[in-house]
């Protein structure tokens, strides 16, 4: 609302004169503008000099980097393959690329509100199944590649997509369970949500990777990636459940009564009346959780999985390139920035669209 009224406010006549008024309105303001302007220009110049003018491009060598005073983008040229695809076998790399492409396409399709239906869940089940088979191989003449060799972007995307696609349904169930009339169900959901929300993600992952296997019989090993994935799903589910619960609480009792009056059972009532409204209310907040889930994938590098961050850490352990770690980190910063900005821009678009729909 506030934003809308701001947008409606009449623009002062003459943007240039307004700018001059603001920057050089008085002597002191003028002085401050000049000083700050010079400082900014100096910083910008240093940055350009470091990142562009004195830098060694991606085609360079580590020897050239040692001689140059600027950034060493040669590390990106040398290590991009390790950073983006981890230890996945070089000759099978097309599979990792294709898997990443499939997931990105799937994510883009899922962003179209017209396609939101129960079928989307089935679509993701099929897509992720396809991606996992493509990555693991062992069928249709594809050589088998163990999950230990998975890494980089595909691993990050798999973790992210699986977290969201399994975590969202879990969150809805937990949120419904927390508001259930059945005391046992309610107690289980409340305990699960509060315990998981009460510990850091790192603790959940360490639990999944170090402690759970000690409880299992020694001849039963559950894949490390699967264990980490379950930890991530639970963590996402517990947080998103509270967001969904907020949406549920915003639905007036009238809606429930109306659904009851129509003779709908519990699940039909939730599916047809309550959840569509509740989820629409909390979409922006859910987008926030989804964005965080993407960034949380980097935690798995701690339990020895080569996600983008883990692969980057490994890449910069090379003694020849160890000095140029900042450049490698800047590279993955750009990768993350691209993904997260895209998601956040989409979230804003969605919000505007919903605001518009509200007014109709």
Partner 1 sequence: MIGRLLLGVAAATVAGGLSPPAAHAGPSLDAIRERGTLICGANGSRAGFSLVNSEGRWEGMDTDVCRAVATAILGDAEKVEFVKVTSQTRFPALQTGEVDMLAANVTWTLTRDAKLGVDFVAPVFYDGQGFMLPRALGVNSVDELDGATVCVLPGSTSEKVVNDVFRARGMTYTPVVIEDQKELNNAFFAGRCDAQIQSTSGLSASRATVAANPEDYVILGEVFGKDPMGPVVREDDADLRDIVGWSVYALQQAEEFGITSANVEEMAQSEDPEILTFLGATGDLGEALGLSPDWASTMIQTVGNYGEIYARSFGEQSPLQLERGLNALWTDGGLHYPPPFK
- Please, what is the minimum distance in Å from the beta carbon of residue 339 to partner 1? 22
- Please, what is the minimum distance in Å from the beta carbon of residue 345 to partner 1? 28
Hey, is 61 helix, strand or coil? Answer: coil
Reference 224, options 150, 328, 135, 323; nearest CA is 150
- Please, what is the minimum distance in Å from the beta carbon of residue 214 to partner 1? 6
Q: Does 325 bind partner 1 (CB under 8 A)?
A: yes
- Please, what is the minimum distance in Å from the beta carbon of residue 144 to partner 1? 6
Q: Does 219 bind partner 1 (CB under 8 A)?
A: yes
Each residue 184-213 as x (binds partner 1 by CB under 8 A) or -, in order, gives: -------------------------xx--x
Could you tell me if 93 and 72 are in contact, meaning their C-beta atoms sit under 8 angstroms apart?
A: no
Q: CB atoms < 10 A from the CB of 75, how many?
A: 30
- For residue 211, the 8-state DSSP code is I
User: Could you say which residues in the range 134-163 bind partner 1, by CB under 8 A?
Assistant: 136-138, 144-149, 151, 162
Q: CB atoms < 10 A from the CB of 7, how many?
A: 7
Query: Residue written as tokens 């399709």?
Result: 109
Cα 294 from Cα 347, distance rounded (Å): 14
- Please, what is the minimum distance in Å from the beta carbon of residue 164 to partner 1? 11
Q: Does 236 bind partner 1 (CB under 8 A)?
A: no
User: Could you say which residues in the range 299-318 bind partner 1, by CB under 8 A?
Assistant: 302-306, 310-311, 313-318
Given 3-state DSSP classes, what are the helix, strand and coil percentages for the chain, each rounded to the nearest 5? 80, 0, 20
Q: Does 292 bind partner 1 (CB under 8 A)?
A: no
Q: Does 221 bind partner 1 (CB under 8 A)?
A: yes
**One residue of 24, 33, 70, 87 binding partner 1 per CB under 8 A:** 87
Cα 107 from Cα 101, distance rounded (Å): 10
Tokens in use for 12? 């002062």
User: Which span (184-192, 218-226, 274-282, 284-292) binds partner 1, by CB under 8 A?
Assistant: 218-226
Q: What's the length of the chain? A: 360
User: Could you say which residues in the range 47-86 bind partner 1, by CB under 8 A?
Assistant: 78-79, 81-82, 85-86
- Please, what is the minimum distance in Å from the beta carbon of residue 336 to partner 1? 19
Tokens in use for 131? 């991606």
């Amino acid at each position: 609302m506030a934003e809308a009224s701001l947008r409606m406010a009449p623009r002062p006549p003459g943007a240039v004169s307004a700018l001059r008024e603001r920057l050089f309105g008085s002597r002191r303001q003028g002085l401050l503008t000049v000083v700050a302007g010079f400082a900014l220009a100096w910083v910008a110049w240093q940055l350009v000099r470091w990142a562009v003018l004195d830098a060694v491009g991606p085609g360079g060598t580590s020897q050239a980097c040692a001689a140059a005073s600027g950034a060493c983008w040669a590390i990106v040229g040398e290590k991009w393959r390790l950073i983006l695809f981890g230890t996945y076998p070089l000759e099978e790399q097309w599979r990792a690329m294709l898997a990443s492409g499939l997931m990105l396409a799937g994510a883009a399709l899922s962003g179209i509100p017209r396609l939101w239906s129960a079928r989307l869940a089935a679509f993701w089940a099929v897509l992720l199944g396809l991606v996992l088979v493509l990555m693991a191989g062992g069928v249709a003449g594809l050589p088998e590649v163990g999950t230990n060799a998975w890494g980089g972007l595909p691993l990050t995307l798999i973790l992210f997509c699986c977290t969201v696609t399994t975590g969202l349904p879990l969150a809805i169930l937990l949120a419904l369970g927390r508001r259930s009339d059945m005391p046992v169900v309610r107690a289980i959901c409340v305990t699960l949500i509060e315990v998981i929300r009460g510990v850091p993600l790192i603790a959940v992952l360490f639990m999944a990777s170090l402690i759970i296997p000690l409880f299992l019989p020694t001849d039963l090993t559950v894949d490390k990636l699967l264990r980490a994935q379950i930890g991530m799903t639970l963590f996402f589910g517990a947080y998103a459940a509270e967001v969904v619960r907020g949406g549920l609480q915003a639905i007036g009792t009238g809606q429930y009564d109306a659904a009851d009056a129509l003779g709908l059972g519990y699940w039909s009532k939730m599916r047809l009346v309550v959840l569509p409204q509740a989820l629409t209310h909390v979409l922006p907040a859910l987008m926030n959780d989804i964005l965080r889930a993407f960034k949380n994938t980097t935690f798995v590098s701690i339990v020895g999985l080569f996600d983008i961050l883990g692969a980057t850490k490994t890449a910069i352990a090379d003694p020849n390139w160890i000095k140029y770690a900042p450049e490698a980190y800047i590279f993955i910063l750009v990768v993350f920035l691209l993904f997260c900005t895209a998601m956040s821009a989409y979230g804003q678009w969605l919000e505007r669209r919903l605001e518009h729909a509200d007014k109709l």
